[in-house]
Structure 1
């Protein structure tokens, strides 16, 4: 059987060859030559067989020699020829010598500013930033500090410096603890100060009983209401003695500062409704009763865990209290919280610090770079507070601070340090109806409701103490502390 080639140039069995066919194969209309007749489509494109014969190595896409202009046959190196002196592609649109080469043209002198101006901007920005940093460092007041107190509890609780505050009625916050004068709730153990909360004797809740700190002479308050408490089981009476015992100490006797630094290294407690605090009060109420003479809260927290919406022992708060009266306490203008990173402040010891000068006051944790609250005394505190001219009763509110001529008033007088562990309270530190809080602040039964929920909160008291390893206090001693 005769074979013939298909349009790829391969022999096909059973087909008569072109040579054996008597009559020549007619060309399709428009076929330019007999050579094109080898292509079964008759469209003028050579078959692979004809390409082989013309030295194109069977490339079906190579341009036929007859269809290429003479100019395309240049030197082999310039045209990238392959075998047979042919090349695969040559643009017919871009002729030799027509390609634009803008880089060979003369550059416009103004174009250099496209590069120069951004560089000048960067250099100028760096120079301005450097100047601002230098000016900021130069303008910061550098203080020399004199040591006032270095307390590591090596000799126990030094009563010449520390005083235990003993009361029963919550220090104005409606707290549920009774602070004690003995060593049961405030003591030194393994070189650390421990302020521990413990439940009151349940028997004192079941019978008529009175605690009178005036009789035994231990009460440290001048207000009898803070020295006497009682349980009355008469029908309809809900009063009980404080359901918890705890402690509170201060340095009023032997360590105060007016401008300086304080650092307290401590571990916070674990337990629902515990309220640890490291804070300061004025030695003398020079501008009037609280909060006219100010209050500095270095750190406050809660013993609850992280699920408490207001924050548990994973969050601390720093604040200043200041205002013409309790109803206009502007603490909310100077209150900042800081969350512990992947831990809690009860998991280990942290250093809680305060730096206080005539021009600023800030608190920090572990490093002065980790600031919590920062207050700049560039505006008088009375102006900053934007207080009303009269109170709710129509009584005129007088500005008692601006008379000093100092913007930092009332924070321009000696303060002493307080360490304490409170429990509960009715001042809003623990928000009502949050996280299973068992009492309402406005209820006359608040103490009793808290005590009756002992089965809920007491099991959470796995670490019911504020543990302090060190206290440092420094006073400015460079001659400008009287400014």
Structure 2
């Protein structure tokens, strides 16, 4: 009945027929649909969490998926059955394959960290993906979710290529359905603009090299003060065809990539759109379709990160009324290791903002349709 109602309501609402081809209503955490990434890498943004399948960090209840960050010393060490404890950060060995049975990272340095090297991240979270389980390259994707609230949290719902046809990131693309910063009262210091839970962002990442990422050409933000993104559920939608990808928030159109769509721009291609490039830059999408790199299949990723030095959480900010006590503890010019230890050293100033399941991403459902 749930499938039938979803199909009928969608057809009525949008005046066209869509066929439901994949969904998860999270009656369970289905390993045939989702894989837990297990890695201590911290991503390309130098984040401060370890991703594991620990049930404290990801679980389902009453048809809802929860992704909840924690302090690593408070998590249970699978080898001992007791909490890791703070001393583990300084003296322990975090061997993810030994502790959790596998590591999804190809770099062994991201599968094993030691306190002696001071590179064990102090927080733990979860990152789930549909890689090698489900991917799509056309259709309509819907996610109903509530973002986490808590200082220095960085939740995201996004897509990466199933096969990196055009090369490594960002040459093969990335589609960000929604990202926010979890701080309740975070502003740019110069303008006073709110950039915490009242603001969401959507974009694509693409470029001829990592240093030439052109995400800023396809970036959109929306503000919501009455029903912010951490205290309320919202509907996040993308529609994707051979001419464009379009984003909707609670039914309101917010972004098209490209804009106008390909069929209204004869000769369009992303290489020309992103020009100028550095001298000698070759076109990774030469000979491909006008939508390349967004003409391939992508898979879902749902995660809650903590901090990072990549710049998504900027330096020039004031937090909680410009009280120095609650200011951003690290600088993006620091190394990942130095920055995460600054965060850890000030945990009494921010960890109290991670209040129970309010600090969790809560996902009601994920659905994908194809046009009939």
Q: Distance in 2 between matches of 1:199 and 1:257?
A: 35
Report deviation, 1:200: 1.5
Is 1:150 paired with 2:23? yes
Give the conservation status (yes or no) of the 8 Å contact 2:126–2:303. Answer: yes
Greater Rg by CA: 1
Q: What SS does the aligned partner of 1:170 have?
A: coil
Aligned counterpart, 1:383? 272
Give the conservation status (yes or no) of the 8 Å contact 2:246–2:253. Answer: no
Q: What SS does the aligned partner of 1:402 have?
A: coil
Aligned counterpart, 2:291? 408
Shift in CA distance, 456/341, structure 1 to aligned 2, threshold 3 Å: closer
Residue 468 of structure 1, aligned match among 345, 359, 363 = 363
Shift in CA distance, 175/162, structure 1 to aligned 2, threshold 3 Å: same
Residue 291 of structure 1, aligned match among 160, 170, 174 = 170
Q: Distance in 2 between matches of 1:286 and 1:279?
A: 18
Give the conservation status (yes or no) of the 8 Å contact 1:305–1:313. Answer: yes
TM-score, L = length of structure 2 = 0.82
TM-score, L = length of structure 1 = 0.64
Aligned counterpart, 1:440? 331
Residue 245 of structure 2, aligned match among 356, 361, 369 = 361
Report deviation, 1:332: 0.6
Q: What SS does the aligned partner of 1:450 have?
A: helix
Report deviation, 1:227: 1.1
Give the conservation status (yes or no) of the 8 Å contact 2:161–2:297. Answer: yes
Give the conservation status (yes or no) of the 8 Å contact 2:149–2:231. Answer: no
Deviation by residue 1:359-413 (Cα, 9 ceiling, x = unmatched): 111111111x3324553333211110004253xxxxx321121311x21110000
Report deviation, 1:240: 3.8
Give the conservation status (yes or no) of the 8 Å contact 1:274–1:423. Answer: yes
Q: What SS does the aligned partner of 2:40 have?
A: coil
Name the stretch that deviates more: 455-464 or 330-339. 455-464
Flag the structure with more relative contact order, 1 or 2, with Cα contacts below 8 A and sequence separation at least 6. Answer: 2
Aligned counterpart, 1:249? 128
Deviation by residue 1:4-33 (Cα, 9 ceiling, x = unmatched): xxxxxxxxxxxxxxxxxxxxxxxxxxxxxx
Q: What SS does the aligned partner of 2:317 have?
A: coil
Where do residues 54-93 of structure 1 align in structure 2 (5 Å cutoff)?
none
Q: Structure 1: which 5+ residue stretches go unaligned? A: 1-141, 391-395, 479-483
Aligned counterpart, 2:4? none
Q: Distance in 2 between matches of 1:288 and 1:144?
A: 35
Q: What SS does the aligned partner of 1:474 have?
A: strand
Q: Where in structure 1 do 4 or more consecutive aligned residues deviate above 3 Å?
A: 142-146, 204-207, 214-217
Aligned counterpart, 2:35? 163
Deviation by residue 1:64-112 (Cα, 9 ceiling, x = unmatched): xxxxxxxxxxxxxxxxxxxxxxxxxxxxxxxxxxxxxxxxxxxxxxxxx
Q: Structure 2: which 5+ residue stretches go unaligned? A: 1-14, 74-84, 189-193, 319-326
Where do residues 206-225 of structure 1 align in structure 2 (5 Å cutoff)?
207-216=90-99, 217-225=101-109
Q: Distance in 1 between matches of 2:26 and 2:180?
A: 24
Give the conservation status (yes or no) of the 8 Å contact 1:148–1:255. Answer: no
Report deviation, 1:304: 0.5
Q: Distance in 2 between matches of 1:433 and 1:150?
A: 40
Give the conservation status (yes or no) of the 8 Å contact 1:205–1:240. Answer: no
Q: In angstroms, what is the RMSD of aligned CA positions?
A: 1.8
Report deviation, 1:145: 3.6
Aligned counterpart, 2:324? none
Shift in CA distance, 250/143, structure 1 to aligned 2, threshold 3 Å: farther
Q: Distance in 2 between matches of 1:422 and 1:414?
A: 24
Shift in CA distance, 403/269, structure 1 to aligned 2, threshold 3 Å: same
